[in-house]
Chains A and B, each alone.
Chain A
């Protein structure tokens, strides 16, 4: 694109994102609701074990991974792609290049999620953690990602200012990294499986790189775009942000192999060292965020600014939990306990979902060119999510530590260890209910918005059809 061309108006750029973003976010909202509902179904098993004794599709071992994957693949990734696309268009100051591709990609992606979920629930999952979807869904998701990436890279390449924004670094790394890890993990585990525990090593590598590194790249990349915007001043320190980026990808990618795993000792040792060094990018990210936000003259009032601030803080906390899990002594206690799921849920819902929802509420007003149908829901959802997360993550983390300490004492019977954690499920299920309520509010906003927009289109189309013909068009 010619740099000397007339500057395109911001509203035109935003409008170009409308259909792709509605396609990405609409499906994401649906999957978030279904995913949280399924995770409640899964947790019911702990309240009443024989609830689904006769129903293979609803047994815990199938519903739990299906729910987790719906939250990750159904909600987190498409929502991330939506926010990413909008940030690229805004930073490049041009409308999306090849706008049809992300629309097609969004539909293929959502189809892949449907296929994958049915695969798990019908008992055909691959059996690998976070990679349960199998071949069919793998091909669909990867194709969708490639289509999306073509449009995103084209938009990036046609940017007006050649100078790179900090968010560019994070988001481009994410665009490169997902197809690599997803294709590699599927190739070596599903298509052409390797032998023995090498499978487990590859699965841990993939899970850590998707859930920790990839989500961190997109979430922090988006936060570094939105925080200065809300605070009304530039990002605290450009070079420190780049330092955080490099240390995050260099150390973060090596985490994830648990201690005590039946693999050669250098693998968990490398992960432990990398996890300890992860404190460096964490300090940098915390410092940048605090210095950018602190003292800014902006009230957040439960709006998008609050979301992004809370999400960034949650990232620091959940990463600290990740580091704690790799500490030699602490890992012995919390390994194989509910502490691990607590950390993962915090990373997915506390950090990532909140940052992306904050971005969504900010950009959707501009993209649709109208107010949200229920603006009050934004604030209510914020509080529901925070309360839900405190209950869910707090209770599971405490249960994990208690469970770990009891497991370390062989004199305590295993039944007593399990029953000690049962009380935590009352709190965690309540937390999940609050999260589900919150996600309903998000879904209500986006679906009513989409419906109104489509209705508007229909109305204007109808009007155009019924408009009296102009005299010049009438045959004499």
Chain B
């Protein structure tokens, strides 16, 4: 959407523009502030500086001590790799499984279709915590506690419902006419799905994939309960460990948090570029 000539000469348009940018700037400040505060806290070396009031808006001698502390003591690199592996594999498998279901739910008419949709939607309402004890016993009987396959199973099934439901509505947004044409031309269902709908859906798939990744990456409860070994710990659990019973190590906690949110931020910036490319528009036109 470029600014048209008509708009350029319209004063009302410019008032709108000013309001729009004012809104964007205020929003930006509010969004960024907590991150800035996190960074600020993480760079303070002493407790006195951290707790000082009036607060210190930038440490006099910024130090990376907190980062070093957690990198060495906490073995965050290991936890980081673990989180990346679990979240990456689980969300990838989860999305592939979900695309299959979502496609069927969106494109095909069959009995029980709404029930299936409700099955997936319904999981969001399940009081998941309540099943934890029984799930734990179930996994324990299968010897899946404290194992990588176990946690992957838990995470993969965890991302499916949201992915299916969201992907279905993305599929709904892609015109079915293209596919119908292909079907008439003699393509079979799997072919049309892979060759026509999925490429059109890629922005949606990517965003769901990244959402799943972030959600899994941020999970604390499941990893804490189902994994024991320090070697298998995830970064979220390690962060939680910094909240001790007698003291919250704010400096280290904030340093750890910044490290922990970096990959998700990077993924988000990928998603952004990708959406901005206007894939769907291009594809439909091309």
Pair from one complex: no
By a beta-carbon cutoff of 8 Å, the part of chain B in contact with chain A is none
